[in-house]
Structure 1
Amino acid sequence: MLDFIGLGLYDERSITVEGHEALSECDRAFAEFYTSKLAGATVEELEEYHDVDIEVRDRAGVEQEPEPILDAAEGGEVAFLTAGDTMISTTHVDLRLRAHERGIDTRVFHGVTAQSAASGLTGLQNYRFGKSVTLPFPYAHGGEDVPKSLVEGLEDNRERGLHTLVYLDIKTEREEYMSADVAAGMLAEGWADELAVAVARAGSPEPIVAADRLSTLAEREFGDPLHLLVVPGDLHHLEAEALKAFGGAPAELVAVE
């Protein structure tokens, strides 16, 4: 049996009760934190809280060399742990398919996602989000500061009046996490100086939500990771009120005709 368990957004307590119970019943636990991580907990804190030993795998150890995980799952109960929801990344879907091909039963224990948290914290309605995009570090893609594909994604969503969730690049092996102010500055210069919402440490006891022009957000400090940005599309009047109330948005930027 291979259980895919989402750990939630922030620390060792962000997991669901169902996920915690499933983890406690497993013989071995593997995890990856290259797609995301828990900013509020170390691996050691996770192990102590859940009373398990966790074997952390890098990207190659999941995507190219998954045999140790699958072999263990053929002979016992195995947990595969990730931050957020466990099936957001195609990496994890691929691992589940490999297990299926080998006749290994799988179960999925979902966790809270950054997208649902961003919607809830900002007050922007979840069904009005379009395709998400990722803003990479410039050195990671070797091109312009803002990739053309990201701009196209933003523009496609805006043409349909939809909001865009902008994931910010992380390099866990280098302990490097793009901050919302850096991302806002890149978008203000490489795309357009539009209304955006910075969200920092979603899922923590004290998350930050700030709505303003990208150039203004670029001048702020949002503290420890993880961060993301939301670029709103057309606003419903309730969304506009939420951005003013919860994000401090200037009234002129969220005026609804």
Structure 2
Amino acid sequence: MLTFIGLGLYDERSITVEGREAVRSADRVFAEFYTSRLVGADVADLEAAHGVDVEVRDREGVERDPEPILAAAETGDAAFLTAGDTMISTTHTDLRLRAEARGIETRVVHGVTAQSAASSLTGLQNYRFGKAVTLPFPYAHGGDGVPDSVRETIEANRERGLHTVVYLDIKVGTGPTGPDPDHEEYMTADRAAGLLADGWRDALAVVVARAGSPDAVVAADRLSALAGREFGEPLHLLVVPGDLHHVEAEALVGLAGAPESVLEE
């Protein structure tokens, strides 16, 4: 059996009860934290909370060399952990398909996602979101500023009146000069706002920082204004709203501190 378990958003307590039981009953527990991580807990915290040893795999160890995971699931119960939900923002469908092809039973235990939290915290209605994008560090895509694909997605959503979740790049084990096992870098919302402001200086945007934590921050303003503010420790994301329902507009003022003058334009 191979069980994919979402850990939720913040620390070792964010997992569901079902997920906690699945972790504790597994013979071996694997995890990856190169696509996202828990901001309030490290591997030692997870091990102590659940009474297990966690074997952390890097990207290559999941995507190119999954044999240890599959072999463990073939002969016993293996758990595979990621922050958030294992099959939404962080998708491991390929690993699941490999397991199924070998006759290994699989299941998914879901966790809270950053996108659902962003909707909940901002007051923006979840069915009014369009396609999400990830904003990479400029060095990661070999260009300057914002990739055309990101701009085109945001514009397409805005033309349809839809909101855009902009996930912010995470680099673990790879830096500006190539592979670096000690490199860990998280794009901040102010940096992302500065990059996007080159195309939409006066556009309204919403920062969501540390969703799921006790000190989560939600702040709405023009991109140019958000670029000049600091939002503390990661993880951060941005939302670029489309057309606003009046309740959504009220929520951005009341919950995110949006200037009423921006919403009136």
Q: Normalised by the shorter chain, which TM-score bucket? A: over 0.9
Aligned to 1:172: 172
The reply on whether 1:70 has 2:70 as its aligned counterpart is yes
Aligned to 1:188: 197
The reply on whether 1:247 has 2:256 as its aligned counterpart is yes
Q: 1:64 to 1:89 in 2, by over 3 A?
A: farther
Aligned to 1:33: 33
Match of 1:228 among 237, 247, 250: 237
Deviates more, 1:183-192 or 1:68-77: 183-192
Q: How does 1:13-32 map to 2 (within 5 A)?
A: 13-32=13-32
Aligned to 1:212: 221
Identity score, percent: 74
Query: Cα distance, 1:151 vs. partner?
Result: 0.3
Please give the per-residue CA displacement for 1:30-79, whole angstroms capped at 9, x wherever unaligned. Answer: 00001111111011111111111000000000000001100010010100
Q: 1:91 to 1:246 in 2, by over 3 A?
A: closer
- Please tell me whether the aligned partners of residues 200 and 223 of structure 2 are also in contact (alpha carbons under 8 angstroms): no
Partners of 1:159 and 1:191 in 2: CA distance: 14
Give the aligned residue type for 1:36.
Answer: S
Aligned to 1:100: 100
Please give the per-residue CA displacement for 1:84-134, whole angstroms capped at 9, x wherever unaligned. Answer: 001125751000000000000001000000000000000000000000011
Give the aligned residue type for 1:211.
Answer: A
Q: 1:16 to 1:200 in 2, by over 3 A?
A: same
Give the aligned residue type for 2:231.
Answer: F
Partners of 1:51 and 1:231 in 2: CA distance: 41
Query: Cα distance, 1:23 vs. partner?
Result: 0.7
Please give the per-residue CA displacement for 1:136-184, whole angstroms capped at 9, x wherever unaligned. Answer: 0000001121000000000000010000000000112321000000000
TM-score (norm 2): 0.95
TM-score (norm 1): 0.97
Deviates more, 1:77-86 or 1:192-201: 192-201
Aligned to 1:6: 6
Aligned to 1:112: 112
Structure 2, unaligned stretches of length 5 or more?
A: 174-182
Aligned to 1:147: 147
Cα RMSD, aligned residues only = 1.1
- Please tell me whether the aligned partners of residues 145 and 190 of structure 1 are also in contact (alpha carbons under 8 angstroms): no
Give the aligned residue type for 1:17.
Answer: V
Q: 1:144 to 1:191 in 2, by over 3 A?
A: farther
Please give the per-residue CA displacement for 1:188-232, whole angstroms capped at 9, x wherever unaligned. Answer: 024443100001000001200000000100111100000000000
Partners of 1:199 and 1:111 in 2: CA distance: 18
Secondary structure of the structure 2 residue equivalent to 1:253? helix
Partners of 1:222 and 1:6 in 2: CA distance: 26
Secondary structure of the structure 2 residue equivalent to 1:172? strand
Partners of 1:63 and 1:191 in 2: CA distance: 36
4+ residue stretches of structure 1 with deviation over 4 A?
Answer: none
Partners of 2:261 and 2:101 in 1: CA distance: 56
Q: 1:216 to 1:245 in 2, by over 3 A?
A: same
- Please tell me whether the aligned partners of residues 2 and 77 of structure 1 are also in contact (alpha carbons under 8 angstroms): yes
Partners of 2:240 and 2:157 in 1: CA distance: 10
Partners of 1:140 and 1:9 in 2: CA distance: 25
